[in-house]
């Protein structure tokens, strides 16, 4: 076990996999971190410091700075993957996905299916998502609801350094394209990471807290709120089963349904807008397949259906919070 | 640590799930002595005093009189030694965890003990299911408890995994509500209104053309239309040709009270789940009426016709134990003696107190017992021991001039006798003429799962002979 930051878990896992497998390459804007500046490569570090030291270790053929063109980065990743490499393409802000959507959605996500399985596309597409930094409406979004709805892509949302290591290693080794979503607010958080080839299979949720009164499902940064609420309510004898989905595609339906079959109550917390999103998707799953167990209506906790505001006070009013989650739990417990 | 004791909602019988504190006889902070009544607690059917079992102070009242019902086992008050500090009591309340109420919670003065506890149906031991099909843990538990065969279930979970809901659906009876068919959809006209608003407009002859509503994007809503419906004009006095104008016929809403909820639930269950079969018979009552006058005089009692019917039914039941039964799941419990429940309309609703071992009572004892139960019911003071169990029911509406009716069985009892009033009926005499005699009509409802029609008929034949030859009642 080693204690490290979320961002360090990203770099160390990529480095370890590049050591192990020469076909793994990294590409993205400024992944070298200072190329073309007075200080030279690695002088500045990438925008999230998630590729620090890779250039020095693996050189320019495997750590590739790209032009500022998301279409080009994703197109290159698609070609590399088809040609036998295992590219890790960094998109920087998840909000920039729009201009590269054709490469991701219509090409990378569909190659294996449309070539009848004769080809595969093992690309990993990393991006930083999420709000909480007053980065306004174009640099704070959570895009997992769009990508989860695209068949052919796997979507991963780790919430701890250990899960970053385990899920990123799984993503790099996976033969399908994987969208790897890193929450900006978590980069500087620390935690224990198991040594060696720590692997977390996709589609296996993490039970962050066990309880028998209400099921709370969340991803990424929101787990912290959910755990705090669970710990607070445990003092009142209220048991919260907190489920960290880890991956939204594939989705661990069994973990959710098994929990709701015991608790009969569901709260789903999500940072993306409410319409046609992850929260509604899971509420619908439970309404569909655990109707017999429900004691109260499934309860989504999401932002309102608006762009993310810039002002500090408005952003905190917009985002899900521990108070909102607690209120949702109490509402379900008082449901008659 | 000061001696602080919880005072929880007591459990007075298997069916009691909640109770209401009707009145606190001791104020918060007041000391009480052993044997003193602390409070009155009402359940769906009874009111009972709770008496103290020791000396203490009622340190805290958590459920004031007249609050909503509290579940069995819930903390309703706290007893403590005099001088216990309030912080210790607060801490005690904060840390209190109600006991598992599956076992009868111990009340502070549990004195109401069921006189004859009905034997609970023996729970079948869950069958262990060994399967290699994917199934959730709760679903497997339910399948084992409810003995559901997994072979017939198609799992709705991922990869055919069986969920709790799949098993729950498999154990339910097939259901299909009545279908209502499709209705034609009217084309959207130039008017932008909700379907309900259109319907109301058509009903009241309101023209919606050109109207702008208050709904989203100017949609005309129900409220918009109702605002345009003219209030009915007062009828012109004396005009014969004035059209009939209906007045407002709004109902007074009376929500079910607790006792009505319980009665409604139990009767619905009984009528839906028990296969009733009805056997009708009538008996000549002239001899009984005459015998009643004489016997009441001799015994110095005021036994009613119904008391005599109870006595007759009880004696007949003792001779036909296959009708003197309770039905528990897959078991029939036969009783040697007849505990007869009598249906009484009390101010609180329909109650069924029990005359115990009526077959062993003299008629004056039965009259005393029914009088006491009816008085108690009228005062709302029937206790659990007055209502628990029963092997048979008698429901008499004769005094209300009902000639004949059929009653709903009162589970777990196997049968109920509905008794009508005495009527004068023409009968053919031995000489082929016509004479009038008093007759009493009775309908026996039996649970056909446990009692066959023939058994019910044999019982009725005995009952009829006892009524027509009432000297048998004093045998």
| C-alpha distance from B173 to closest chain A C-alpha (Å) | 15
Residues B305 and B451 in one domain: yes
Catalytic residue among A139, A144, A183, A198: A139
A183 is catalytic: no
Residues B301 and B201 in one domain: no
Residue-level pLDDT at A36? 78
Instruction: Tell me, yes or no, if A41 comes closer than 8 A to chain B by beta carbon.
Output: no
Residue B187, in any domain of the structure: no
Residue-level pLDDT at B236? 52
Catalytic residue among B276, B333, B337, B448: B448
Instruction: Tell me, yes or no, if A228 comes closer than 8 A to chain B by beta carbon.
Output: no
Q: What is the three-class DSSP state of A155?
A: strand
Q: Quick one: which H or E segment has residue B426?
A: strand B415-428
CA distance B346 to B287: 31
Residues B292 and B331 in one domain: yes
Domain hosting B147: range is 137-170
Please name which of A100, A106, A84, A97 lies closest in space to residue A23, comparing C-alpha atoms: A84
Residues B200 and B289 in one domain: no
| C-alpha distance from A286 to closest chain B C-alpha (Å) | 10
Contact B312, B319 (CB under 8 A): no
Q: CB-based burial of residue B27 (10 Å sphere; 0-12 exposed, 13-18 middle, 19+ buried)?
A: exposed
**What does the buried/exposed string (b/e) look like for A122-135 if buried means 16 or more CB atoms within 10 Å of the residue's CB?**
bbbbbbbbbbbebb
Please name which of A263, A282, A235, A286 lies closest in space to residue B163, comparing C-alpha atoms: A286
Residue-level pLDDT at B113? 40
Residue B132, both tokens = 């290699």
Q: What is the domain-level CATH number for residue B419?
A: 3.30.559.10
- Stretches in chain A below the pLDDT threshold 70: none
Do the chains contact at A292 and B158, CB–CB below 8 Å? no
Do the chains contact at A289 and B156, CB–CB below 8 Å? yes
- Convert the pLDDT of each residue in B429-444 to its tens digit: 888 899 999 999 999 9
| C-alpha distance from B87 to closest chain A C-alpha (Å) | 18
Instruction: Tell me, yes or no, if B138 comes closer than 8 A to chain A by beta carbon.
Output: yes
Instruction: Tell me, yes or no, if B71 comes closer than 8 A to chain A by beta carbon.
Output: no
In CATH, the number for domain A206-334 is 3.40.50.920
Residues in chain B with CB shorter than 8 Å from the CB of A262 are 138
Residues B346 and B288 in one domain: yes
Instruction: Tell me, yes or no, if A258 comes closer than 8 A to chain B by beta carbon.
Output: yes
Write the CA distances from B220 to A250, B184, B223, integer angstroms: 45, 21, 8
Instruction: Tell me, yes or no, if B96 comes closer than 8 A to chain A by beta carbon.
Output: no
Residue B82, in any domain of the structure: yes
Q: Which long-range contacts (CB under 8 A, 24 or more apart) does B147-156 make?
A: B156/A288, B156/A289
pLDDT (mean) for B395-411: 92
- Convert the pLDDT of each residue in B107-145 to its tens digit: 444 444 434 444 444 445 677 888 888 999 999 999 999
- Convert the pLDDT of each residue in B165-222 to its tens digit: 999 989 888 777 676 666 555 566 667 887 788 878 877 778 887 788 888 778 888 8
The pLDDT of residue B244 is above 90: no
Residues in chain B with CB shorter than 8 Å from the CB of A254 are 136, 157-158, 161
Residue B189, in any domain of the structure: no
How many domains is chain B built from?
Answer: 4
Quick one: A2-193 is in which CATH superfamily? Answer: Thiamin diphosphate (ThDP)-binding fold, Pyr/PP domains (3.40.50.970)
| C-alpha distance from B143 to closest chain A C-alpha (Å) | 14
| C-alpha distance from A279 to closest chain B C-alpha (Å) | 19
Residues B320 and B463 in one domain: yes
Residues B286 and B212 in one domain: no
Residue B181, in any domain of the structure: no
Best mutation target among B164, B167, B170 (most A Cβ atoms within 10 Å) is B164
Residue B360, in any domain of the structure: yes
Residues B320 and B426 in one domain: yes
Residue B48, in any domain of the structure: yes
Do the chains contact at B165 and A292, CB–CB below 8 Å? yes
pLDDT (mean) for B91-95: 85
Q: What is the domain-level CATH number for residue B156?
A: 4.10.320
Instruction: Tell me, yes or no, if A262 comes closer than 8 A to chain B by beta carbon.
Output: yes
User: What is the residue extent of each domain of chain A?
Assistant: 2-193, 206-334
Do the chains contact at B163 and A257, CB–CB below 8 Å? yes
**What does the buried/exposed string (b/e) look like for B435-451 if buried means 16 or more CB atoms within 10 Å of the residue's CB?**
eeebbbbbbbbbbeebb
Report the predicted TM-score, pTM, of the whole model to 2 decimal places: 0.53
The answer for A 267-296 residues in CB contact with B (under 8 A) is 288-293
- Convert the pLDDT of each residue in B21-63 to its tens digit: 888 988 888 888 888 888 888 877 777 888 888 888 998 999 9
Residues B360 and B442 in one domain: yes
Residue B306, in any domain of the structure: yes
- Closest in B156, B161, B169 to A254, CB measured: B161
Report the share of chain B in percent with pLDDT over 90.
38
Residues B331 and B415 in one domain: yes
pLDDT (mean) for B447-454: 94
CA distance A308 to A301: 16
For β-strands A86-93 and A24-28, DSSP reports them as parallel
Residue B119, in any domain of the structure: no
């Amino acid at each position: 076990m080693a204690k490290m930051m979320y961002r360090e878990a990203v770099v160390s896992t990529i480095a370890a996999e590049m050591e192990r497998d020469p076909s793994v390459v990294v590409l993205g804007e400024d992944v070298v971190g200072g190329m073309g500046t007075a200080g030279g490569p690695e002088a500045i570090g990438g925008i999230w410091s998630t590729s620090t030291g890779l250039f020095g270790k693996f050189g320019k053929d495997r750590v590739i700075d790209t032009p500022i063109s998301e279409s080009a980065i994703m197109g290159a990743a698609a070609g590399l993957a088809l040609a036998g490499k295992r590219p890790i393409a960094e998109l920087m802000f998840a909000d920039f996905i729009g201009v590269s959507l054709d490469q991701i959605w219509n090409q990378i996500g569909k190659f294996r299916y449309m070539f009848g399985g004769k080809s595969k596309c093992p690309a990993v597409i990393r991006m930083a998502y999420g709000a909480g930094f007053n980065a306004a409406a174009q640099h704070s979004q959570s895009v997992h609801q769009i990508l989860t709805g695209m068949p052919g892509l796997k979507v991963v949302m780790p919430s701890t350094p250990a899960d970053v290591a385990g899920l990123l290693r799984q993503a790099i080794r996976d033969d399908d394209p994987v969208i790897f979503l890193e929450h900006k607010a978590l980069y500087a958080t620390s935690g224990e990471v198991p040594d060696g080839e720590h692997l977390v299979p996709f589609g296996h949720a993490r039970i962050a807290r066990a309880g028998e009164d209400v099921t709370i499902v969340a991803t990424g940064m929101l787990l912290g709120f959910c755990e705090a609420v669970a710990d607070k309510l445990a003092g009142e004898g209220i048991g919260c089963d907190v489920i960290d989905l880890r991956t939204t595609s594939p989705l661990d339906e069994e973990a959710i349904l098994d929990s709701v079959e015991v608790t009969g109550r569901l709260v789903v917390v999500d940072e993306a807008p409410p319409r046609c999103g992850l929260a509604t998707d899971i509420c619908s799953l439970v309404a569909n397949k655990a109707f017999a167990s429900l004691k109260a209506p499934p309860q989504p906790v999401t932002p309102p259906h608006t762009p993310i505001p810039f002002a500090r006070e408005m952003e905190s009013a917009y985002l899900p919070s521990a108070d909102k989650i607690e209120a949702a739990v109490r509402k379900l417990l008082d449901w008659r | 640590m000061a001696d602080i004791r919880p005072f929880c909602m007591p459990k007075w019988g298997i069916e009691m799930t909640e109770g209401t504190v009707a009145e606190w006889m001791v104020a918060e902070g007041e000391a009480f002595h052993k044997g003193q009544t602390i409070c009155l607690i009402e359940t769906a059917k009874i009111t009972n005093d709770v008496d103290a079992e020791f000396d203490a102070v009622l340190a805290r009242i958590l459920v004031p009189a007249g609050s909503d019902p509290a579940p069995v086992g819930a903390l309703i008050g706290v007893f403590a030694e005099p001088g216990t500090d309030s912080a210790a009591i607060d801490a005690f309340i904060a840390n209190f965890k109600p006991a598992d109420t599956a076992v009868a919670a111990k009340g502070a003065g549990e004195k109401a003990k069921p006189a004859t506890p009905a034997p609970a149906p023996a729970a079948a031991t869950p069958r262990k299911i060994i399967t290699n099909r994917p199934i959730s843990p709760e679903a497997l538990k339910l399948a084992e408890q409810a003995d559901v065969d997994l072979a017939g279930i198609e799992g709705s979970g991922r990869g055919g995994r069986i969920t709790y809901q799949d098993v729950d659906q498999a154990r339910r009876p097939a259901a299909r509500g009545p279908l209502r068919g499709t209705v034609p959809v009217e084309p959207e006209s130039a008017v932008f209104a909700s379907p309900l608003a259109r319907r109301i407009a058509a009903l009241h002859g309101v023209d919606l053309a050109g109207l702008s509503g208050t709904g989203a994007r100017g949609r005309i809503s129900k409220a918009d239309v109702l605002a345009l419906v003219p209030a009915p004009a007062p009828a012109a006095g004396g005009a014969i040709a004035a059209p009939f104008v209906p007045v407002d016929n709004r109902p007074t809403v009376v929500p079910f009270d607790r006792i009505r909820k319980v009665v409604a639930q139990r009767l619905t269950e009984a009528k839906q789940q028990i296969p009733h079969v009805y056997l009708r018979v009538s008996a000549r009552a002239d001899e009984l009426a005459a015998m009643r006058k004489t016997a009441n005089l001799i015994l110095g009692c005021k036994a009613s016709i119904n008391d005599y019917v109870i006595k007759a039914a009880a004696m007949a039941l003792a001779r036909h134990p296959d009708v003197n039964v309770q039905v528990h799941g897959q078991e029939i419990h036969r009783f040697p003696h007849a505990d007869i429940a009598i249906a009484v309309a009390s101010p609180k609703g329909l109650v069924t107190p029990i005359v115990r071992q009526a077959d062993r009572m003299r008629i004056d004892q039965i009259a005393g017992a029914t009088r006491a139960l009816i008085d108690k019911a009228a005062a709302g003071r029937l206790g659990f021991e007055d209502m628990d169990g029963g092997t048979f029911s008698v429901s008499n509406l004769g005094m209300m001039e009902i000639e004949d009716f059929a009653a709903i069985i009162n589970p777990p009892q196997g049968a109920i006798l509905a008794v009508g009033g005495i009527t004068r009926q023409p009968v053919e005499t031995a000489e082929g003429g016509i004479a009038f005699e008093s007759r009493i009509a009775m309908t026996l409802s039996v649970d056909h799962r446990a009692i066959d029609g023939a058994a019910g008929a044999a019982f009725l034949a005995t009952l009829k002979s006892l009524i027509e030859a009432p000297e048998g009642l004093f045998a």
